[in-house]
Amino acid sequence: MFEQLKEWDRELFIYLNGLGIERLDSFWIFITQEENWIPLYLIFIILIFLAYKKKQAFIVLIGFLCSFLVTFGVTRIIKASVARVRPNNVESLQEVIRILQEPTYYSFVSGHTSTSMAITTFMVLILRHRYKWVYIFYLWPILFATSRVYVGVHYPSDLAAGAFVGVIIAIIIYKICKKMLAKGDREFDEL
């Protein structure tokens, strides 16, 4: 059964990767590079400080940073434990797929997907009561994850598992952050 799932994952990856259009390559390469998303991180930080008072904003900012750091760490541990070779490094696939990047570290789970889903989910949970439109930010992890198949470095299951890891960690950190905000409000009321 597990082998059959791996085969379906491989076939789906080959199909999706094969949908790539050469004239869109530069767009997807731009999308997949983390540093091109720095303006979005700055927007997130600005929204935190607009939505919360100074002390609360710092608590939320710590939650924002933790959602990234914890997810990054957990993802690295999973990658090292599972040690799944990336599709771009599988010799039998190299003639069949489009390869636009050639990272060598392990594939499962996608770090791009897990961290972007963690950050976005945390931000949506923390800001959804203040900004109803905040769900639009989910376009980022969707594009980010899609780019990883397009450039030939992740299987669809890497993305699904990465999204799951990111969402779970974001929910946990949000609940911790919410308790810290509530505790901070009680302390403020007592002054």
* pLDDT digits 0-9 by tens, 50-76: 999 989 999 999 999 999 999 999 999
Q: What is the pTM of this model?
A: 0.87
Q: Is residue 188 predicted with pLDDT exceeding 80?
A: no
User: What pLDDT sits at residue 184?
Assistant: 65
* pLDDT digits 0-9 by tens, 163-186: 999 999 999 999 999 998 888 655
DSSP string, 48-89: HHHHS-HHHHHHHHHHHHHHHHHHHHHHHHHHHHH-PPPGGG
* pLDDT digits 0-9 by tens, 31-42: 998 899 999 999
User: What pLDDT sits at residue 79?
Assistant: 95
The percent of residues in the chain predicted with pLDDT above 90, rounded, is 60
User: What pLDDT sits at residue 189?
Assistant: 41
Q: Is residue 7 predicted with pLDDT exceeding 50?
A: yes
Structural domain boundaries of the chain? 55-190
Across residues 120-135, what is the average pLDDT? 95
- 3-state secondary structure at position 153: coil
- Give 40's contacts (C-beta < 8 A, 6+ positions apart): 137, 140
* pLDDT digits 0-9 by tens, 159-168: 999 999 999 9
* Residue 49 tokens, joined: 């400080």
